[in-house]
Amino acid sequence: MPRKQNHQSLIKGLIDHFVSGGLQVQYANYEGFDKPFVITRHAPDVIAVNPASQLGYIGKAKLCSELGEQTTREQFTDFSKMLMKSGKSQGSKLPFFICVPQECHSKIRQTYHDFDISWRENIQVLGF
């Protein structure tokens, strides 16, 4: 039986995924890290950087019950169209990782469609 996911376990999954990909986690809503800063209207759960390219990565954990909320709509809208402001990757879209429990992994594209937000190539969905 799959274990019940909560925000902290999803955030830990994002951190582990970023670290395993060679990224440096700079901020996270997780013990031992500084809190992420607000980007546009909301703060993501994790902010990481690729040390080679200096490209930033942002991650947001969402429980299935949160997918229909206005806050989720604003976050998905803002975070999926962020561009690098400086450095080697200036002008590149920031990779945006959405981490959800496995049972609603397949609902993310539908959520974007329902919210009338364009799906972009920089969006990655992780299910745990």
pLDDT in tens, 64-74: 999 999 999 99
Model confidence band, residue 4 (pLDDT cutoffs 50, 70, 90): low
Q: Which two tokens stand for residue 19?
A: 């670290």
CB 27 within 8 A of CB 41: no
Q: How far apart are alpha carbons 43 and 101 in whole angstroms?
A: 20
Model confidence band, residue 1 (pLDDT cutoffs 50, 70, 90): very low
Q: Which two tokens stand for residue 27?
A: 């901020």
Higher pLDDT, 122 or 86: 122
- Is the pLDDT at 3 greater than 70? The verdict is no
- Give residue-wise pLDDT tens across range 75-99: 999 999 998 888 888 888 999 999 9
DSSP conformation letters of 90-126: TTPBPPEEEEE-GGGGGGHHHHHHHTT----TTEEEE
Residue 2 is predicted with a pLDDT of: 46
Q: How far apart are alpha carbons 102 and 118 in whole angstroms?
A: 23
Residue 119 amino acid letter: W
Q: Quote the pTM value.
A: 0.94
- Give residue-wise pLDDT tens across range 5-41: 799 999 999 999 999 999 999 999 999 999 999 999 9
